[in-house]
Chains A and B, each alone.
Chain A
Amino acid sequence: MQLNLNDGGEPVKPKIAVVIGSGGIKPACAIPLFEFLETSGINIDLLIGCSGGAIVAAMHGFGYNSAGIADLFSNHLTKSLFSHIDYRTLLGIAKMPLCRFDKTRGILKPQRLMDVLKKIFKNSSFESMKIPTLVQVTDVDTGEGALINSGDIASAVYASAAQFPFFPPIKIGNRWYVDGAYSSPLPVLEAVNRSYDVIIAVAIEQQLKTESKSFIEYLHHFISRSYTSTQKKQMALAIDMHHHEIVVINMHFDELINMWDVDKMPVIIETGRRIIEKKKAEISAAIENFKNKKR
């Protein structure tokens, strides 16, 4: 990006953060945003991701290009990752003899997902990220949100995406962490707190069926609605606290797309492309207005 100089000779380029919210594999719809920013010469100074958004943010921060991210989703995040049931946990939930449920367990076994994430991030740590990246997680004991930006990338990304009690928490340091969406599904406030000037927030919205037909579906819908409610409250606060522009990109999906529906990746990316197209002028204006104010 071309830098402009103010009277004091200081660069006036805004600090830009991209925040990608939770939503299974649907946050891959941010790929066209990365393409737009890259072709426009707009550098991202910080990436923040939550849950599925953390997977995408970390992939981009790690250095994967758009095609690479789409391929990783299509080839690695398959249904087999979500079908390895931990029957001992199920028996523990039912309080069967010799079986117990505790905070370290989940309904699904995490090893396949963890192996895939370790392969994707090549057992690397956050220090090797090409773009500074933060991953939103939730402390399972306190319910408080936390951000991880050091240590093993795969562990942090797993934690951010581990929707408890389906996936078990992971111990990082001396805390047990689960899905960041429980505390902050779209962690815009974290970018506001760090004084980023232009914040581009990718919110994922899934059209839900009005009636749920099973326990899992009901639970999933309830959790999704609860995330949306939390997200909106935090967004209102973020806008009130912020000093420049938060460009909210609402990625709406009419079609139900589950975490393992990787065959729908073209639909996800096309949806992102269509919506980003309408937001390009808004993003560019936010950056230009900042530069004009500082001239």
Chain B
Amino acid sequence: MKYELKVYKIENYTVINISGKIDSSNSEEAEAELNLMLENNDKYYILDLCGLEYISSAGLRVFLSASKKIKNNKGNFVFCSVSEEIKEVFDITGLLHVFTLCETLDGAVEKIKSMAL
């Protein structure tokens, strides 16, 4: 399975675009790569899932691990552009109400601004 992580900035907030597929075949690699991206001085992140096609439970643990890392640093994050299929995975695994989801990237920027206040 293949995935891709791309990082860029919008208004001083770090956006990480995650695309492709994440399962137990590549989750350790994805977790290490994502953790590296979180090792800057930022506290607030947007995880843009517009290109994420599939995620298994091992992939969800990558997000849980990232969540712990960000919150341990007194920061916060939101997901945006989550497809209906991935939303359903979040729902049946009980993570829909654990994570903050925004419909669009613009909405996510507004949300993260309010969290950073």
> Using a CB–CB distance below 8 Å, which chain A residues touch chain B?
203, 205, 231-236, 239-240, 242, 244-248, 250, 282, 285-286, 289-290, 292-293
Contact = CB atoms under 8 A, between A and B. Distances in A.
Contacts of B60: 239
B64 A239 contact: yes
Given A285-B25, A289-B23, A240 B92 contact: no
Interface string B57-90: 1101100100000000000000000000000110
Nearest to B25: A289
Contacts, number: 57
Interface string B13-46: 0000000000111000000000000000000000
Contacts of A234: 94
B56 interface: yes
B56 A235 contact: no
B117 interface: no
A71 B25 CA distance: 40
A232 B25 CA distance: 25
A244 B58 contact: yes
Interface residues of B, number: 18
Interface of B: 23-25, 56-58, 60-61, 64, 88-89, 91-95, 97-98
Given A245-B23, A290-B24, A293-B24, A203 B92 contact: yes
B23 A239 contact: no
B25 A292 contact: yes
Nearest to A249: B92
Nearest to B93: A235
A246 B92 contact: no
